Amino acid sequence: MATGELDGRRILVGVCAGIAAYKVCTLVSRLTQRGGEVTVAMSESATRFVGALTFQALSGRPVYTSPFEHIESSDPQHIALAQSQDCAVVAPCTMEMLARLAHGFVPDAVSLILSAVDRERTPVLLAPSMNAQMWEQASTRRNVETLRADGFKIIEPGTGWQACRTIGAGRMAEPEEILARVLAVLGERAEA
């Protein structure tokens, strides 16, 4: 898919509570600049890292921060939003969000919307981000494998300097890599 080819494509970006949330600002901006209709959903804790107003300004659209408020519709269901997306990406996808998605817990706007996405029709990409020790936990590895088996696409984290001042695996993929993966899955859908 060439640059500028996202006109009319609807992309949900889920933002979870992690220091890498600031990098998602670049992703949302790039998707929007390419013509994507980007809707951002944030866990309540994510708003402590980057404000919803920032994502509203970058996307030009309202931001979902509560599972109880449906800002784009008077219909109080997350299902219409989930069914209208061409692609969804969660970045940073924290250890907690991996567990929520793997086990069907939906206490926040991000997990609730994703619970209604048909992954056979709409690709859902997860960009994990966490400390190296958290990434290596047996529970994290199990959850990632469960999510893969359930049809989620994992964008593997990188290795490098982390906010906890250590070096290791678990760094969220850079915005350009996530953008490339979004473009690739949307290109595959267009060809199908």
CATH number at residue 45: 3.40.50.1950
* Residue 183 placed within a domain: yes
* Residue 173 placed within a domain: yes
| Distance in angstroms (rounded) separating the CA atoms of residues 166 and 47 | 25
CB 31 within 8 A of CB 6: yes
* Residue 89 placed within a domain: yes
Instruction: Confirm whether 16 is a catalytic residue.
Output: no
pLDDT band at 123, cuts 50/70/90?
A: very high
Q: In the chain, where does DSSP find H-type helix? A: 21-33, 52-59, 79-83, 95-103, 109-115, 132-136, 138-149, 175-191
Structural domain of 187: 10-191
How confident is the model over 93-111, as pLDDT tens digits? Answer: 999 999 999 999 999 999 9
* Residue 3 placed within a domain: no
Per the structure, how many domains does the chain have?
1
* Residue 95 placed within a domain: yes
Length of the chain in terms of residues written: 192
